[in-house]
DNA sequence: TTCTTACGTAAGCATTCGCTTACACTATAG
DNA sequence: CTATAGTGTAAGCGAATGCTTACGTAAGAA
């Protein structure tokens, strides 16, 4: 999960994910969207995303078609949502513990 | 925004944020929660979080009390939510464009 | 004042990152 | 077969990261 989080922390990789979110795209097309870096750099970014399981690869003849792994991204989103709500959960747990204590005192 | 994302990509920093989420805590107490690294390392993590505007610092006598900057975290969350829904937006836009085209053909 | 506590920070080091160039490989075209 | 897209990968490099030790400094304690 940490790998995925670190992967999306990079703006280029987020942009790549955007490109292959709703449709698959060959590596060259992906690379040609970035005019400030080499195709090799993008290929390495694709490697990072693949290693984080955030994209899937399909080979078609000469090409490699990429698409976002939406399930993994959903998992990542859920992880973060749980993290955001963690503070509230913590408050809730503390409140319940206090309540329990109170009841024990009174029982 | 990128700074904040990279900041929370680190598990120790996420744990620190958890600690100061619902109540402020002095730096020493924060550091004492981590038994595998030095106080200095935690201090530097606090610096990263501060630089990302994810925590607020308040000085009280000798101590520095930290608490999570929930507004900034909310902003980060919103940013990510928009990112997650970006794929859907893209589909929607594409669908609308197709519809527009269709209407033009028929008009 | 002198000690002690609670911190930030500089220096140094090993690791990782993002990038480039150069090369290797595969599949199709000729 | 040779040539040419399409693509990953190794090597190398400068910058950033995460860590440690050592030091600096401000605020109370004695």
What are the sequence ranges of the domains in chain B? 2-106
Domain B2-106, architecture per CATH: Orthogonal Bundle (1.10)
Helix (H, G, I), strand (E, B) or coil at A26: strand
For residue B54, give the 3-state DSSP assignment. coil
CB A37 within 8 A of CB A12: yes
| β pairing state of A63-68 and A25-26 | antiparallel
State how far Cα A107 lies from the chain centre.
Answer: 48
Could you identify the residue written with the tokens 């520095």?
B64
Q: How far is B88 from chain A (nearest CA, A)?
A: 8
Which residue approaches D5 most closely, CA to C1'?
A: A62
Which of B77, B83, B94 is nearest residue A84 as measured by Cβ atoms? B77
B58 token code pair = 């308040």
> What is A2-97's CATH topology?
Arc Repressor Mutant, subunit A (1.10.10)
Say if the Cβ atoms of A83 and B14 lie within 8 Å: yes
Interface touch A70/B87, C-beta < 8 Å: yes
pLDDT tens sequence across B5-45:
999 999 999 999 999 999 999 999 999 999 999 999 999 99
H/E stretch holding B55 reads strand B55-60
- Quickly give A8 CA vs C29 C1' distance in Å: 39
Q: How do residues B64-73 score in pLDDT, each as one tens digit?
A: 999 999 999 9
């Amino acid at each position: 999960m940490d790998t995925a989080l670190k992967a999306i922390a990079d703006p280029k990789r987020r942009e790549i994910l955007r490109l292959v979110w709703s449709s698959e795209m060959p590596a060259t097309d992906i690379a040609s969207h970035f005019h400030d870096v080499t195709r090799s750099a993008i290929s390495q970014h694709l490697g990072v995303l693949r290693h984080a399981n955030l994209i899937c690869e399909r080979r078609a003849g000469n090409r490699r078609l990429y698409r976002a792994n939406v399930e993994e991204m959903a998992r990542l989103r859920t992880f973060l949502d749980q993290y955001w709500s963690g503070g509230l959960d913590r408050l809730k747990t503390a409140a319940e513990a206090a309540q329990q204590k109170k009841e024990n005192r009174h029982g």
